[in-house]
């Protein structure tokens, strides 16, 4: 296992909804999955595992397990809709940059982003005696 230390910050979930994605209907599942992975890598993510599942005629779900946590993309080409969730507690991962890039690549004419701070499951640093 890689001993790379990831700089830590308060965990945050970014949840984005893209609407009227003009490019979505013309893209196949492989192209969408590659675009998704490239946008996350470009934003500083380290992808540990990728998987996708196509729903014939109804869209795609892509999951990226990241060194920084995870990202999930769901598509509905019949309505031009994409939902995206990126969860991370790393200051290296620029989630909003990935969201902006995906929205641009998919031709989204509507973008809604919610930022939700999440509970931090890490233990606080041990206090030294007498501190």
Rounded Cα gap, residues 84 and 99, in angstroms: 8
Active-site annotation holder among 15, 52, 70, 74: 74
User: Is 69 among the catalytic positions?
Assistant: yes
Residues 6+ apart with CB under 8 A from 70: 63, 64, 86, 87
User: Is 74 among the catalytic positions?
Assistant: yes
Active-site annotation holder among 21, 62, 88, 89: 89
Rounded Cα gap, residues 47 and 67, in angstroms: 6
Active-site annotation holder among 69, 88, 90, 95: 69
CB-CB contact of 110 with 19 (8 Å): yes
List, by residue number, the catalytic residues.
Answer: 69, 74, 89
């Amino acid at each position: 296992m890689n001993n790379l230390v990831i700089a830590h910050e308060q965990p945050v979930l970014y949840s984005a909804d893209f609407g009227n994605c003009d490019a979505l209907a013309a893209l196949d599942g492989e192209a969408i999955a590659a675009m998704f992975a490239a946008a996350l890598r470009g934003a500083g993510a380290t992808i540990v595992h990728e998987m996708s599942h196509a729903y014939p005629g109804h869209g795609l779900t892509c999951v990226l397990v990241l060194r920084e946590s995870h990202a999930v993309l769901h598509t509905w080409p019949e309505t031009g809709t994409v939902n995206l969730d990126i969860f991370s507690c790393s200051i290296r991962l620029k989630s909003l940059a990935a969201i902006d890039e995906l929205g641009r690549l998919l031709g989204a004419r509507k973008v809604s982003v919610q930022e939700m701070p999440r509970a931090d499951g890490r233990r606080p640093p041990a206090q030294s005696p007498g501190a």
